[in-house]
Amino acid sequence: NREGNLSEKQVRYAKTIHSCGDDLIQLINDILDLSKIESGYISTDFINVRFHEITSFVETTFKHVSESKNLKFNIEVDRMLPEIFETDAQRLNQILKNLLSNAFKFTEKGGVSLRIYEATRNWMQSLPSLDNAKKVVAFEIRDTGIGISKDKQNIIFEAFQQAEGSTSRKYGGTGLGLSISRGLADLLGGTIELESEVGQGSTFTLYLPIDYNPNMVKKEKPSTLTVSEYKLDETVGNKATLQSVPTIKVASEGKELEVLNEIINEVGDDRNNIGPSDKVVLVVEDDIRFAKIMVEKAHELNLKVVVATAFGDVFDLTNKYSPIAVTLDVKLPDASGWRILDLFKNDINFRHIPVHLISGEENRLLAMQRGARSFNLKPLKSQALTVLFDDIVQYQASRPKRLLIVEDNELDSSQIAKILDCGEDSIQMDFAGNGETGLAMLSQQAYDCVIIDYMLPDIGGMDFVAKIHKLKKDRMLPLLVYSAKDFSPKEKMQLKQYANRILLKDVSSVDLLLEEVIMLLHIDHRELPQEKQMIIENLRSREDVLTGKTVLVVDDDVRNLFALTTAFERYQINCITAESGQEAISILTEKSGIDMVLMDIMMPEMDGYETTQKIRREHKNNNLPIIAVTAKAMKGDREKCIEAGASDYITKPLKIDQLLSLMRVWLYK
């Protein structure tokens, strides 16, 4: 930069942001143009236009493009044409720019030509403005590019469509240019027609009447365009991607809006009626009828509810509404509830939120071990739902949290008390010097968590945890074993039937005790005193499973590679990059010690599916975690990624915290 106060890396970062911003602005402008055409609000200004002005604009705009790609660019104007004709120069230039941009983009060898001539009934579809015109001018754009198959020649004029729309697509773009061009041609009284063969190039011809009078056309004339039922999931700095996902239409409500309205209207979702002081519960449930029952029960307790019917909505809604609790159905159409639970508990900003699991299969032990607040077996009767939501309300309201510490060593008790002293409003600690006293206190008082020393003077450790479990079998009381005993694998397995966590007492484990207790009590670390926050954040950084790991990032967009590499540096993750599937396979063959692969699905030549399959066939480590990164959010995408050999998948645009949480889940495994 001019002042010289940015490092080289910061300058590159700024350029990446600027480039992504340019892409976003172009996309927004295209969508605005399309919506204006659709709604009939776009205006035209017909003036006398000289043909040499058109050719001059085209030559100036595309001369550098043709030279940089080493392509021939010829412009030919029929001498029999009049010197001027009446049209909207701005809209005509926009159409020609779109058509020529496509021609150059899809042409690697040969050239592109623009021929302007008087047409004599060459257009295939009857159009009154052309059929009745005194003269018609044709703008023929011919290229020697990849061509378009017959079955794709109609759909490319739809919004967000490209002929080359597969996961291995080589060419970027929004897929809006041809939709806009055809709409503008309609406004100018003309049409665009296509002739093409795969491998032989394409010819797009714009036909316009020379004497068109737009005032003779009714203003309320509907556009011939229809907005396609597709949405663009990736909006910044990447290849715009065709999404076969119903979404909101310009002309009428789309299916996504209908689904959202069903959630809001049928279920009673409160997302449009939530104030800053409202207590919100996130219900993750794909069964609309059961979700409605959950919402009604929550409303009885003056709770507000937002409903997520699929994995893709969970963390966006969590970010937006900061729920006091989450009810989570284990079986969702696009992800396992266990996976979502792991993501919550591995994200430092979300791990404090109590998650109540709901499942059709008994798995209470696994729910406890993974940090769920409760486990609820379907079908849930009215009384069970009442208990569930009463717990949500009471647990959120109860402060301070009550913690029982069963420890016979006074020095250890003092050390525990010091590290867990987070203020009177956070944790209230009660101490028991032996097992019998601890059991008596548990029978008389409700506690939110228990810390026990395994080696107590009056009772064996295993007997003690079994008695606690029997005493509190009606609820999943968090239990943390904090002991100097070095447990054998068999003892650990037995203990894990009852205990959420097992920590070995040593000098470095005191800080870890704070982190574990805060998580088991569902306390947001950001609400703790500053010194305690620093302990947890430093511990997370120091003990992070990501530290020192080597990750191969496979993506053909260098901006994505740069952004991820820079983000990973903060977590001391070693990053190796590959810009193609073939390069990724070569790196894996030549290098050892790669701990994980992030695989972009949309890549040229060899897409992410094919690359993943080849890695699974050829790589010596079949357990290598591969996370598929896809811009698609279609039903079945996760299954397709898993079938190809991916361990898991995540959708763009990437949220770095969510990506890191997912990486931790797989690296812990």
Are 379 and 500 within one domain?
no
Same domain, 375 and 274: yes
What is the rounded average pLDDT for all residues in the chain?
80
Spatial contact of 209 and 186, defined as CB atoms under 8 Å apart: no
Which structure tokens are listed for 179?
């939709």
Q: Is the domain of 362 the same as that of 427? A: no
Residues 6+ apart with CB under 8 A from 167: 601, 602, 603, 607, 608, 609
Q: Could you tell me if residue 14 is inside a domain?
A: no
pLDDT in the model for residue 587: 92
CB 45 within 8 A of CB 256: no
Query: Which of the listed ranges 54-58, 262-266, 526-530 does the model predict with the highest average pLDDT?
Result: 526-530
Beta partners for residue 86, in sequence order: 48
| Cα gap 523→355, rounded to integer Å | 13
- 81 domain-assigned: yes
CATH of residue 336: 3.40.50.2300
Q: Which of 370, 393, 416 is the last residue of a domain?
A: 393
pLDDT band at residue 246 using 50, 70 and 90 as cut-offs:
very low
The predicted structure's pLDDT at residue 151: 73
| Alpha carbon distance, N-terminus to C-terminus of the chain | 44
pLDDT at 29: 56
Same structural domain, 188 and 283? no
Joined tokens for residue 261: 């309205």
pTM of this prediction? 0.56
The pLDDT confidence band at residue 605, using thresholds 50, 70 and 90, is confident
Last residue of a domain, one of 543, 573, 591: 543
pLDDT band at 38 (very low <50, low <70, confident <90, very high): low
- DSSP class of residue 381 equals P
Q: Which two tokens stand for residue 162?
A: 């490209």
Cα–Cα distance measured from residue 298 to residue 386, given in angstroms and rounded to the nearest whole number: 9
377-413 pLDDT, tens per residue? Answer: 888 888 999 999 999 999 999 989 999 999 999 989 9
Helix (H, G, I), strand (E, B) or coil at 82: coil
* Whole-number percent of the chain with pLDDT over 70: 80
What is the model's pLDDT at position 31? 52
Residue 255 scores a pLDDT above 50 = no
Domain-embedded: residue 347: yes
CA 478 to chain centre: 32
- For residue 478, whether the previous peptide bond is cis, meaning omega lies within 30 degrees of 0, is no
The answer on 638 and 572 residing in a single domain is: yes
Whether residue 251 lies inside any domain: the answer is: no
Evaluate whether residue 340 is within a structural domain: yes
92 located within any domain: yes
| Residue 664 within any structural domain of the chain | yes
Do 162 and 177 lie in one domain? The reply is yes
- Per-residue pLDDT tens digits for 261-284: 556 666 778 888 888 899 999 999
Same domain, 95 and 153: yes
pLDDT at 230 over 60: no
For tokens 């659709």, the residue is: 38
Domain total in the chain: 4
Q: How far apart are CA 198 and CA 145, in angstroms?
A: 9
Q: Write down the pLDDT at residue 268.
A: 77
Neighbour tally for 576: CB within 10 Å: 17
pLDDT, position 127: 84
Q: Which residue has the tokens 């699991």?
A: 357
Q: Are 141 and 195 in contact (CB under 8 A)?
A: no
The pLDDT, as a whole number, for residue 439 is 94
Q: What is the pLDDT of residue 40?
A: 55
Clarify whether residues 421 and 491 are in a common domain.
Answer: yes
| Mean pLDDT within 538-544 | 68
Shared-domain flag, residues 384 and 297: yes
Together in a domain, 408 and 490: yes
Question: Which residues on adjacent β-strands are paired with residue 630?
Answer: 651
pLDDT digits (tens, 9 = 90+) for 411-440: 899 999 999 999 888 999 999 999 999 999
Residue pair 237/184 in contact by the 8 Å Cβ criterion: no
Two tokens, residue 213: 């009078």
Virtual torsion, Cα 70, 71, 72, 74, nearest 10 deg: -130
Dist CA 273 CA 306 (whole Å): 10
In this predicted structure, what is the pLDDT of residue 42?
63
- The arithmetic mean of pLDDT across residues 199-211, rounded, is 89
Provide the pLDDT confidence category of residue 532 given band limits of 50, 70 and 90. Answer: very high
Q: Are residues 383 and 424 in the same domain?
A: no
Give yes or no for residue 467 having a pLDDT over 80: yes
Identify the CATH number of the domain in which residue 170 sits: 3.30.565.10
Min mean pLDDT across 21-35, 305-319, 516-530 is at: 21-35
193 strand-pairing partners = 205
Q: What digits encode the pLDDT tens for the residues 101-128? A: 889 888 889 999 999 999 887 788 788 8
Of the three residues 334, 364, 393, the one that is the final residue of a domain is 393
Shared domain check, 566 and 501:
no
- Please give the residue range of the domain that contains residue 36: 24-216
Contact 368, 376 (CB under 8 A): no
Residue 150 DSSP symbol: G
Find out whether 157 and 184 touch, Cβ atoms under 8 Å.
no
The answer to whether residue 152 is domain-embedded is yes
Q: Is the pLDDT of residue 550 over 80?
A: yes
Read off the pLDDT of residues 610-657 as tens digits, 9 standing for 90 and up.
999 999 988 877 789 999 988 655 556 677 888 889 988 887 778 787
Cis peptide before 400 (omega within 30 of 0): yes
